[in-house]
């Protein structure tokens, strides 16, 4: 039994079916990257998993327990264990860095203040923002904001981390500082689902890669298989296109 079991997941946005039967099984501690052409449903899958665009059909099991996306309690339980980092960082603009990281554990989980602040300090040090606790998001560069967003997502010690194109909005010279942080996290054994266009990074950190096209997963396998010996034609086409340059 995997850490996360996705079966026959469907999701529509308005009249459009974005996800058409997604099946994917992710083991504990795995780093699974989703690749595929834009519009293939990678981001929607992540948003769907965390309940922002609830699935229309299909099941998602977390540790063998099915998530009921229509039930508030079940959704809260899910979000206690799963965190997401967005492309646009989405830090709370009205809170400083430290507050962004501590607000959920303090105010929502009502955890001990001393412990929360200690964890937050450690996390911010780890992502290299240790000297900017009092800064507001609009005073930081994109790369810095994204690293704070990662620290915020980790503050509740999630078991699963979803990373939704976290480097796509960054200036090229800022991409590596964020990738370094993520690379560091993969050593922790936290389960990760990554949507990224940084193919060499995907190749390097992923335990498995899932190729998505037209709303479903067409091929899953270790990076060597997907990038060097893809079995599906669509994977071959896509990989051929992106690796040519």
Partner 1 sequence: MFERIIEEAPRFFTYYNLMFVLGAMWRTLLMTLVGCSIGFTVGLGLAVLRRTSAAWLRPARYAAILYVETFRRIPFLVVLFIVLYFIQPIYSGASLLAIATVAVCLMSTAFLSEIIRAGLESVPRQQMESAEVLNFHPGQTLAWVILPQAWKVILPPAVAFVVMFVKDTSLASQLGVVELTYAGKILVNKGFSPLLGFGAILAAYFILSYPLSRLGAHLETRLGTSRNT
Give 52 or 243: the residue with its C-beta nearer to partner 1: 52
Closest CA to 198 of 183, 184, 212: 183
- Count residues near partner 1 (CB under 8 A): 25
Give 139 or 228: the residue with its C-beta nearer to partner 1: 139
Helices 172-186 & 142-154 angle (0-180, nearest 10): 20
Give 108 or 115: the residue with its C-beta nearer to partner 1: 108
Among 26, 156, 163, 192, binds partner 1 (CB under 8 A): 156
Q: CA 147, CA 213: separation in Å to the nearest integer? A: 29
Q: CA 5, CA 40: separation in Å to the nearest integer? A: 20
Q: CA 26, CA 6: separation in Å to the nearest integer? A: 8
Residue 147 sits at the vertex; the CA angle it makes with 4 and 3, to the nearest 5 degrees, is 10
Q: Does 243 bind partner 1 (CB under 8 A)?
A: no
Give 92 or 222: the residue with its C-beta nearer to partner 1: 92
Instruction: Tell me the window of 33-41, 134-142, 174-182, 236-244 that interacts with partner 1 (CB under 8 A).
Output: 134-142
Q: Does 150 bind partner 1 (CB under 8 A)?
A: no
Number of Cβ within a 10 Å radius of residue 93? 9
Q: Does 76 bind partner 1 (CB under 8 A)?
A: yes
Q: Does 104 bind partner 1 (CB under 8 A)?
A: yes
Q: Does 52 bind partner 1 (CB under 8 A)?
A: yes
Q: Does 138 bind partner 1 (CB under 8 A)?
A: yes
Residue 137 DSSP label: G
Please give the helix or strand (H or E) that residue 208 lies within, else none. strand 208-213
Among 65, 107, 171, 228, binds partner 1 (CB under 8 A): 107
Number of Cβ within a 10 Å radius of residue 239? 21
Give 86 or 238: the residue with its C-beta nearer to partner 1: 86
Among 26, 84, 181, 217, binds partner 1 (CB under 8 A): 84
Are the beta carbons of 179 and 201 closer than 8 angstroms? yes
Q: Does 93 bind partner 1 (CB under 8 A)?
A: yes
Q: Does 169 bind partner 1 (CB under 8 A)?
A: no
Are the beta carbons of 186 and 136 closer than 8 angstroms? no
Give 88 or 225: the residue with its C-beta nearer to partner 1: 88
240 torsion bin: left (phi>0), alpha (psi -120 to 50), beta (else): alpha
Which stretches of the chain bind partner 1, using CB under 8 A? 50-52, 76, 79-80, 83-84, 86, 88, 90-94, 103-104, 107-108, 136-139, 152, 156
């Amino acid at each position: 039994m995997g850490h996360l079991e996705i079966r026959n997941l469907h999701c529509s946005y308005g009249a459009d079916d974005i996800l058409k039967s997604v099946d994917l099984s992710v083991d504990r501690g795995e780093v699974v990257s989703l690749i595929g052409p834009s519009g293939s449903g990678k981001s929607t899958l992540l948003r769907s998993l965390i309940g922002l665009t609830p699935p229309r059909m299909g099941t998602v099991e977390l540790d063998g327990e099915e998530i009921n996306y229509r039930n508030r309690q079940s959704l809260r339980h899910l979000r206690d264990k799963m965190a997401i980092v967005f492309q646009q960082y989405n830090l709370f603009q009205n809170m400083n860095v430290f507050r962004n990281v501590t607000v959920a554990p303090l105010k929502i989980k009502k955890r001990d203040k001393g412990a929360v602040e200690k964890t937050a300090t450690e996390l911010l040090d780890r992502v290299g923002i240790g000297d900017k606790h009092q800064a507001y998001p609009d005073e930081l560069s994109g790369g810095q904001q994204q690293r704070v967003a990662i620290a915020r997502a980790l503050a509740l010690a999630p078991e699963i981390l979803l990373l939704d194109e976290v480097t796509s909005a960054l200036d090229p010279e800022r991409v590596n500082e964020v990738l370094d942080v993520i690379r560091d996290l993969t050593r922790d054994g936290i389960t990760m689902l990554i949507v990224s266009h940084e193919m060499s990074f995907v190749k390097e950190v992923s335990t498995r890669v899932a190729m998505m096209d037209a709303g479903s997963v067409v091929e899953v396998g270790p990076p060597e298989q997907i990038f060097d010996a893809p079995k599906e034609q669509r994977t071959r086409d896509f990989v051929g296109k992106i690796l040519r340059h």
